[in-house]
């Protein structure tokens, strides 16, 4: 044994030393989508800096991300149907599959075992093993699918543009159980799930109003809310559809972008009835609440997409107006809300603001940045 130990020591001395790899804890990291270059930045929130640029993600013209429960892996959903697993520790692609022809986002199950992808072509939702990216289940719908979210109990929920249905897929057992809810309305364009996992709310493009499901019910049924809401009494041009993920829960109310209108709509979070409206600079795209719910930050569609407004939830008043630059596409708060990162696509940078003073405190260079996603999302339902 002593001879073996001596030989091992000699061998180790003879071999060249391995280069040290700097390992970052992932709880303070995030990813930034570079939409025209097919690349993703790994960023450090505390240092306000880029750790790495990773290439090879395909078409990211409409892309989003979710994270594994341990926040090591980001799953990037590309427009071209690509599902890519990014290792934030090794700063490299850990797996990639081309699973469809045209995708529109995805979700990860509450236990982190499964990743689901929503598809325009060929339609439907496909579910993959989060470790291997092997196909686990395929749910053809004969329709474009939208509004895919995770729900408690190993479930995924999504809606159909063409048929106005919502499906609830329970993946907790070996054989998936599918509940189909009809009558959600004409042309659902996006959806969200509330942070407690109870309500699934669908925005409608084909008619005024919205629909909701109570996911705590044993037999959920479609319930119409906000009759007359939507594109308004007269048809109005819609320059960019608002994202329902951008609904902000601020205290006892939701703040949501009004489709095709220069307004932010306030909705009672319990009764789902309208409380009032705030006139805004343009057509809102994202309305994102600071984590404490006190302020809502709003960005806008073209031609007003150089502006961000900060609105007080309690009063509905505009407190501050920022002009970050051309084509503000997305905003992401740090986990406790002391900073907000703002992507300014046509200026090729991310601006970072102090959310108390509204002062710009830093910037990060990026090639045509769009979505910003921090790993804190790993621990929140629906994100």
Domain of residue 136, CATH code: 2.130.10.10
Alpha-carbon separation of residue 67 from 26, 87, 93, 138 (angstroms): 11, 10, 14, 22
CA atoms within 13 A on the CB side of 303: 0
C-alpha angle with apex 174: 170 to 180, nearest 5 degrees?
Answer: 30
Instruction: Please state, rounded to an integer, the average pLDDT across all residues of the chain.
Output: 90
Among residues 175, 191, 225, the one where a domain terminates is 225
Burial 238-260 (b: 16+ CB within 10 A, else e): eebbbbbbbbbbbeebbbbbbbb
219 shares its domain with 288: no
Answer yes or no: is 21 within a domain: no
| Distance separating alpha carbons of residues 217 and 205, to the nearest angstrom | 26
Whether residue 210 contacts residue 204, with contact meaning beta carbons closer than 8 Å, is answered with yes
Answer yes or no: is 118 within a domain: yes
Q: Are strands 308-312 and 39-44 parallel, antiparallel or unpaired?
A: unpaired
86 shares its domain with 185: yes
311 shares its domain with 363: yes
| Distance separating alpha carbons of residues 295 and 313, to the nearest angstrom | 6
Peptide bond into 229 cis (omega under 30): no
pLDDT digits (tens, 9 = 90+) for 142-194: 999 999 999 999 999 999 999 999 999 999 999 999 999 999 999 998 898 98
pLDDT cut 70: percent of the chain above it: 90
161 shares its domain with 247: no
pLDDT digits (tens, 9 = 90+) for 188-229: 988 989 889 999 999 888 887 789 999 999 999 999 988 776
The reported pLDDT for the residue numbered 207 is: 82
Answer yes or no: is 178 within a domain: yes
The first and second tokens of residue 365, run together, are 């260079």
169 shares its domain with 292: no
Burial 86-106 (b: 16+ CB within 10 A, else e): bbbbebebbbbbebbebbbbb
Sheet of 318-322, strands arranged across: 284-289, 295-300, 308-312, 318-322
Terminal CA-to-CA distance of the chain, rounded, Å? 54
Whether residue 213 contacts residue 223, with contact meaning beta carbons closer than 8 Å, is answered with yes
pLDDT of 14 over the 70 cut: no
The reported pLDDT for the residue numbered 247 is: 67
Q: Is the pTM of this model over 0.85?
A: yes
pLDDT digits (tens, 9 = 90+) for 27-67: 999 999 999 999 999 999 999 999 999 999 999 998 999 99
Answer yes or no: is 18 within a domain: no
Sign of CA pseudo-dihedral 119, 120, 123, 124: positive
The reported pLDDT for the residue numbered 245 is: 66
| Distance separating alpha carbons of residues 368 and 375, to the nearest angstrom | 21
Answer yes or no: is 372 within a domain: yes
Q: How many domains does the chain have?
A: 2
Answer yes or no: is 39 within a domain: no
303 shares its domain with 358: yes
The region of weakest confidence among 38-47, 231-240, 277-286, 291-300 is 231-240
Answer yes or no: is 78 within a domain: yes
Answer yes or no: is 1 within a domain: no
pLDDT of 88 over the 90 cut: yes
The reported pLDDT for the residue numbered 251 is: 80
Three-state secondary structure call for residue 11: helix
210 shares its domain with 274: no
Among residues 166, 194, 225, the one where a domain terminates is 225
Among residues 225, 256, 287, the one where a domain terminates is 225
172 shares its domain with 263: no
158 shares its domain with 192: yes
Question: In which domain, by residue range, is 346 found?
Answer: 242-382
> Whose CA is closest to 278, among 314, 311, 248, 251?
311
> Whose CA is closest to 167, among 190, 139, 194?
139
Sheet of 339-344, strands arranged across: 328-333, 339-344, 349-354, 360-365
Q: For residue 288, what are the contacts with CB-CB under 8 A and spacing of at least 6?
A: 246, 248, 296, 297, 298, 331, 332, 333, 340
Q: How many residues does the chain have?
A: 383
206 shares its domain with 252: no
């Amino acid at each position: 044994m002593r001879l073996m130990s001596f030989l091992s020591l000699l061998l180790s001395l003879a071999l060249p030393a391995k280069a040290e790899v700097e390992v970052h804890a992932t709880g303070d990291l995030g990813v930034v989508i570079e939409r025209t270059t097919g690349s993703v930045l790994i960023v450090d929130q505390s240092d306000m800096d880029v750790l790495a640029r990773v290439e090879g993600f395909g078409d990211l013209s409409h892309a989003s991300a979710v994270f594994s429960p341990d926040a090591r892996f980001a799953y990037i959903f590309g427009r071209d149907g690509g599902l890519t697993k990014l290792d934030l520790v090794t700063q490299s692609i850990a797996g990639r599959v081309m699973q469809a022809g045209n995708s529109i986002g995805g979700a990860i199950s509450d236990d982190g075992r499964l990743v689901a992808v929503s598809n325009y072509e060929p339609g439907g939702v496909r579910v993959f093993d989060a470790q291997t990216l092997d196909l686990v289940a395929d749910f053809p719908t004969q329709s474009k699918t939208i509004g895919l979210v995770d729900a408690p109990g190993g479930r995924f929920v999504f809606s159909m543009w063409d048929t106005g249905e919502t499906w609830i897929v329970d993946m907790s057992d070996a054989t998936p159980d599918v509940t189909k809810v009809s009558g959600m309305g004409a042309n659902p364009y996006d959806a969200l799930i509330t942070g407690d996992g109870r309500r699934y709310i669908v925005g409608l493009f084909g008619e005024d109003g919205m629909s909701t499901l109570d996911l705590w019910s044993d037999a959920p049924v479609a319930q119409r809310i906000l009759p007359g809401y939507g594109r308004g009494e007269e048809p109005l041009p819609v320059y960019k559809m608002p994202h329902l993920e951008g609904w902000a829960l601020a205290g006892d109310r939701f703040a949501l972008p009004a489709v095709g209108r220069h307004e932010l709509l306030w909705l009672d979070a319990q009764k789902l009835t309208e409380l009032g409206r705030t006139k805004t600079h343009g057509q809102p795209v994202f309305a994102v609440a600071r984590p404490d719910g006190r302020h809502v930050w709003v960005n806008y569609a073209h031609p007003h997409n150089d502006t961000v407004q900060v609105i007080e939830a309690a009063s509905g008043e505009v407190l501050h107006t920022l002009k970050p630059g051309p084509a503000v596409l997305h905003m992401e708060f740090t986990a406790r809300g002391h900073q907000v990162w703002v992507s300014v696509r046509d200026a090729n940078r991310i601006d970072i603001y102090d959310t108390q003073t509204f002062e710009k405190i830093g910037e990060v260079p990026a090639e045509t940045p769009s979505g910003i996603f921090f790993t804190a999302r790993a621990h929140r339902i629906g994100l």
